[in-house]
């Protein structure tokens, strides 16, 4: 008799264990909802940060380009000096705020255009033809570059390339600085 009673209790326990309670179902659903919502939030943040990072990278390249274009002016002056022309190493590199004249094609010399501080035009992006940022053709962007040249002494100048732009309604600024020297006289 004990054995039959034990089997009956065991069968009753197995029947009770087969079904989920309402509390267990609600807990499982809430864990799934939290997991799915976390995934969506993560995707939204990744998409937002992708645009910010892409614009920061573009701005850093454009800022470095500003430094390189000023360096090209200095190096062109060096070449003229070595060819016997009567120019100074800082010709066209006076103290002030500048932008670059329209497109700079391969083989052309760079022309720095003096601007009032904070009055540089925004870049245009030529998506159809050349896929470059310039001041001549394309659609206007939020990228703005100002190049500031400051004389340190007779043999050194400081060049700052300041980028300003807007991404996702947030204003950003990046400053790249370099010092150019008159290494012909050093």
Does any domain span residue 15? no
Helix (H, G, I), strand (E, B) or coil at 84: coil
More confident residue, 130 or 77: 77
Q: Which two tokens stand for residue 18?
A: 């087969």
Does residue 46 fall inside a structural domain? Answer: yes
Residue 181 in this model has a pLDDT that exceeds 80: yes
pLDDT digits (tens, 9 = 90+) for 84-137: 999 999 999 999 999 987 666 666 778 899 999 989 999 999 988 788 898 888
> What is the rounded average pLDDT for all residues in the chain?
88
* Per-residue model confidence (pLDDT) at position 106: 66
Q: Is the pLDDT of residue 12 over 70?
A: no
Of residues 129, 139, 135, the one with CA closest to residue 113: 135
Say if 94 falls within a structural domain: yes
Asked if the model's pLDDT at residue 182 lies above 80, the reply is yes
Tell me how many domains the chain contains: 1
Residue 26 domain-assigned (yes or no) = no
Per the domain annotation, does 119 fall within a domain?
Answer: yes
21 assigned to some structural domain: no
- Neighbouring C-beta atoms of residue 134, cutoff 10 Å: 15
Residue 25 lies in a domain: no
Per-residue pLDDT of 37-54, as tens digits, reads 999 999 999 998 999 999
Residue 164 has pLDDT above 90, yes or no: yes
Q: How many helices (H) and strands (E) does the chain have?
A: 2, 7
Within the chain, residue ranges assigned H as helices are: 2-17, 22-82
| Residues spanned by the domain of 68 | 39-181
């Amino acid at each position: 008799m004990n054995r039959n009673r034990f089997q009956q209790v065991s069968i009753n326990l197995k029947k009770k264990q087969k079904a989920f309670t309402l509390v267990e179902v609600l807990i499982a659903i809430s864990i799934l909802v939290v997991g799915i919502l976390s995934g969506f939030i993560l995707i939204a943040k990744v998409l937002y940060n992708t645009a910010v990072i892409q614009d920061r990278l573009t701005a850093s390249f454009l800022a470095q380009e500003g430094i390189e274009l000023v360096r090209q002016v200095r190096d062109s002056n060096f070449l003229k000096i070595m060819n016997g022309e009567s120019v100074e190493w800082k010709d066209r590199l006076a103290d002030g705020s500048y932008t670059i004249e329209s497109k700079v094609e391969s083989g052309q010399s760079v022309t720095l255009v003096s601007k009032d501080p904070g009055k540089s035009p925004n870049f245009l992006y030529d998506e159809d033809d050349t896929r470059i940022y310039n001041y001549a053709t394309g659609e206007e962007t939020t990228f703005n570059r100002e190049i500031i040249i400051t004389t340190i002494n007779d043999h050194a100048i400081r060049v700052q390339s300041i980028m300003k732009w807007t991404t996702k309604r947030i204003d950003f600024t990046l400053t790249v600085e370099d010092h150019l020297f008159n290494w012909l006289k050093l």
